[in-house]
Structures are given as C-alpha cells and as structure tokens.
Amino acid sequence: MHSDTIAAIATAMAGAGIGIVRISGDQAVEIADKVFRKKGGGTLTEQESHTIHYGSVWEDGEMIDEVMTLLMRAPRSYTSEDTVEIDCHGGVYVTKRILEAVLHAGARLAEPGEFTKRAFLNGRIDLSQAESVMDVIQAKNDLSLKNSIRQLSGALLHEIREIRGALLHEIAFIESALDDPEHISLDGYPQTLDERLGKAETKIARLLKSSESGRLIGEGIATVIVGKPNVGKSSLLNALLGEERAIVTEIAGTTRDTLEEQMNLNGILLRVTDTAGIRDTEDVVEKIGVERSKKYLADADLVIYVADASTRLDQNDFEILDLLAEHKVIILLNKSDLPAVTTEEDFAAAVSRLPMWKEKKEDLKMITFSAKERSGMELLEQTVQDMFFAGEICSDQEICITNLRHKTALSDALSSILLARKSIADGMPEDFYSIDLMAAYEKLGMIIGEAVEDDLVNEIFSKFCMGK
C-alpha cells in the first residue's frame, strides 16, 4: 500500500453533464472531509463504505459547487485503497477548481495511469488486466471491445497461470529428484515430461496464432484502394464512409495524394487509404501521388482494386495487377449502373493469363459493384469478413492476443519449451530441462506481471490517460 494520497480528474477535460474528481489513498476520506460539507451535517469519516452523499465543495469559505460524493473503503475499491469520488457539474473550470481544492487539502496530483498502477501493485488486478483497461478505453469496434473485456475479466490471467502452474510442477519435481535421487526416480520421466510439454506447447501456440486476428481486431485492417484514374476509387471511399469525404469529378487524376480514413464494417475496423490513380504521367504532382500509392501497398493487409466495368481492360490494368499478385485482393468491377463492357468472366479470363496470377486465380475475389448506387456493399462486407476472420476470428469465449508485449513473451516461452523438448529428444541430462522450463515460466510471468521489472511497469502505465 502507498502512504501518499493521489487525486485527479477522472473524466474528459471537456464540457459535459458531469465531472468526476477521484481521490485514492490512506488519507482520501480525511482529505475529502476538508473540502466536502454533507447536507444535514456529519462527515464522510462517519459513513459506511459504498454510500453516496449529497452536499457541496468549499474552499476558503467559498462554495465551489453542489456535488454528490461516493465513498468506497479499502479494499473494496478500484485501487484497493480508500477512495472518494466527487461528482460535480461537468464544466472544465468547476472540475479543475474542485481538484485544486483537494490538492490544497493534502492530496498529490496523480500521474498518468497511477490509479490502475496502484490496483496492480495492490494485487487487485494482474498486469494483463491493467493493460486491458486501456484497451477498453481505446476500443474502436465491437470485436475489440469484447476481447478487451474478456481480458479485463481475467481470461488471459487464468490461461497463463494454468500453463505456468503445470511448468512449475515439473520444475519442482525435477529439482526434487536431483536433490534426492534415492527416493525420487526419474526413470521414464523424460517421455512423460515430453507429453506434458506438448500440451503446453499447443496452448501457447494457439494463443500465438490468435495474435494475427488480435492485431486486425485491435488496429484494424490496413486497406488500400487502388486502380487507374477515374474508375471510382474516391466514390468507393465515400460509399464506405457514408459521406462525401473525397472529391469526385469526371477529371482523371483528381486525387493526387493519399486520403486516410477509419470506418467500422459490421464491427470490423478498416483503416482505409484512398490513393492516387496509378498510371504513367508527366504531371510532377500526380507522379508523386502515384509513387506514394505504390509505397502504401507494401504495408497493406487488404487491397481493393477498383476497375471500371463500363470500359475495356487495358495494359495499365495488367501492370497494376502485377503489383498486387502477392497481396490479399478484392477486385471491384465498379460502375455496374452503366452498360457492362467488362464482365466478371472477362476479368477472370484476363487475370488467368498473367504469369503472376496463375497460382492465385482460384482465390480471386471479384464483386460487381456500383459506388454510385451502393449496390454490392453487403457482398463486399461479407467478403472482407470471410477473407480475414472466417473460422479464425475469436469467439466470445476465446482470447485474442492484441498486445505486442504479450505476443513477444509467448513466443519466447514457446522457444524455451521447444528447447526443453529437444533436450529430451537428444537424451540430455534432466537439469537441462529445468533451465529451459524456468525460462518459459519467467517469460509467461512477464505477461501477468509476476516476473517484470519496475522500469517496464512504469513505462506501461505512463501510456495511460490522466485520472485512470
């Protein structure tokens, strides 16, 4: 437990219906009593935990605001410390005045993330749960929110502790057998250990496999819209966003730079980049835009190639398609509201003749589309879901690893387990096993904060917002 008492504004610094000043620490109730006057008399010190009291906040004989004050005594609070929350009117100035009064009464201004840090240090939550608090705050879609809530409820903690517990049991057994070989035999044990490590390997590998889906859920699918000039790329972006975000004209080359937006596609976050039309051009500015378009392809999770179905394919189309052969691609035959000149069959036949696409032609995703009339939108949404999450997306009961630190620790733990299994296969002495098993045990402990240095803890919580 910490000896000092901290305080901060726990709501956004913007005009709102309500503002909250949170106080936590040994002196939280005493400090709150210095500024809070309960209607009808009495002090918070006299009240029971988890009660709400109406009154006002005063400083230097001046009333600042009428408030409701929530009292939570240790350990039944977010930080496991005595905590008082003052709910006031949500103006920025009045909330800051109340915080200043609390600080003048003896509290210290909390550092970013310090309330959650205290919850972790006081043992109320583990480090993975603490990090999921920020994930909940930053969630941009339903899938990301659900996954963060699962981790906040301790799903990852349970999984990691189960694996660590099994490893610790084996480490203890090996050490005991080495210390007392007369009473504890290791005959046949390597084979038994190998089977048990195989189970741990499977569990860790499953968590690691989820990290790709987790990345896409948390960060969103990096989506790049490409195509020749004037095929409807910007119209597609506007259709996806449901608003006129990009300039659309009949003049080829209108989009000369990239335009980036985020959108929610049936619960999946897309980070969409509309690029300049790719073609040979002498226009200096447009040429720069074309080069940027090509660079964005390198980091794309998904490429939406827009072709004009009302015109015939030309050499420019084939040159662009060659650039996309190594990517996940959806081909949109846009402008289906006009008489069709190029059909899906025409496009598939043309693509099949391209050397770079011969092995991929069975995976070709093609949609007849009209950005003008928004026809084909539902099929586009379903295709994106099928390409990235069909059969792989985390269900409501599964864990998706979204944190790079967690992924790295899992990968290191898996490497140590594989080394232990190799030692078994090579017939190495049993003390070699325990070295690698202890390394895996410690790496997994870093995820939940049971084997982590203070500097890393400080770095993690420094990224939190104030008041949390």
Exposed e or buried b for every residue in 84-103, given b needs 16+ CB within 10 A?
A: bbbbbbbeeebbebbbbbbb
CA 342/CA 271 separation, integer angstroms:
29
Q: Residue 135: inside a domain, yes or no?
A: yes
Say yes or no to pLDDT of 451 above 80. Answer: no
**Are 25 and 6 within 8 A, CB to CB?**
yes
Residues 264 and 347 in one domain: yes
Residues 301 and 410 in one domain: no
**Residue 436 in contact with residue 80, Cβ under 8 Å?**
no
Q: What CA–CA distance (Å, rounded) separates 246 from 254? A: 10
pLDDT per position as a tens digit, 187-222? 889 999 999 999 999 999 999 988 877 777 777 888
Token pair in block for residue 16: 């709102």
Q: Give the domain CATH number at 167.
A: 1.20.120.430
Do 344 and 450 belong to one domain? no
Question: CA-to-CA distance for 67 and 13, rounded, in angstroms?
Answer: 18
**Residue 295 pLDDT:** 73
Q: Is residue 163 part of a domain?
A: yes
Instruction: Compute the average pLDDT of residues 268-284.
Output: 66
Within this chain, do residues 183 and 330 fall inside the same structural domain, yes or no?
Answer: no
Which of 104, 124, 144 is at the close of a domain? 124
Q: Is residue 332 part of a domain?
A: yes
Whether residue 467 lies inside any domain: the answer is no
Residue 1, in any domain of the structure: no
Lowest-confidence region among 59-73, 339-353, 403-417, 433-447 = 339-353
Residues 362, 434 share a domain:
no
Whether residues 382 and 442 share a domain: the answer is no
Regarding whether 377 and 302 lie in a shared domain, the answer is: yes
CA 143, CA 218: separation in Å to the nearest integer?
Answer: 8
> Would residue 50 count as lying in a domain?
yes
CATH number at residue 228: 3.40.50.300
Alpha carbons 208 and 206: distance in angstroms, whole number = 5
Q: Does 265 or 14 have the greater pLDDT score?
A: 14
**Is residue 395, in this structure, part of any structural domain at all?**
no
List the strands of the sheet with 268-274, edge to edge.
259-265, 268-274, 221-227, 302-308, 329-334, 365-368
Looking up residue 11, the CATH number of its domain turns out to be 3.30.1360.120
User: Alpha-carbon distance 53 to 58, whole Å?
Assistant: 15
pLDDT band for position 255 (cuts 50, 70, 90)? very low
Cα 145 versus chain centre, distance = 9
Q: Model confidence over 279-288: pLDDT tens digits?
A: 554 454 445 5
Q: What is the pLDDT of residues 26-73, one digit of tens each?
A: 999 999 999 999 999 999 999 999 999 999 999 999 999 999 999 999
- Domain match, 228 and 333 both: yes
Give strand pairing partners of 350.
none
Q: What is the pLDDT of residue 394?
A: 56
90, 124, 158 — which closes off a domain?
124
Question: How far apart are the C-alpha atoms of 155 and 162, rounded to whole Å?
Answer: 11
Same domain, 178 and 310: no
Predicted local distance difference test score (pLDDT) of residue 361: 61
- The verdict on residue 175 lying in a domain is yes
What range does the domain containing 329 cover?
A: 221-389
Residue 391 reports pLDDT greater than 60 = no
Assess whether 378 and 230 both reside in one domain.
yes
pLDDT for res 140: 73
Instruction: Give me the number of domains the chain comprises.
Output: 3
Write out pLDDT tens, residues 341-381.
Answer: 888 888 888 877 777 776 666 667 888 888 888 888 888 88
Question: What is each CA distance from 121 to 23, 64, 68, in whole angstroms?
Answer: 17, 34, 29
Check whether residue 259 and residue 356 sit in a common domain: yes
Identify the three-state secondary structure at position 267. Answer: coil
Q: Tell me, yes or no, whether 117 and 190 share the same domain.
A: no
Mean pLDDT across the chain:
84
Q: Average of pLDDT values for 171-197?
A: 90
Note whether 259 and 248 are within 8 A (CB): no
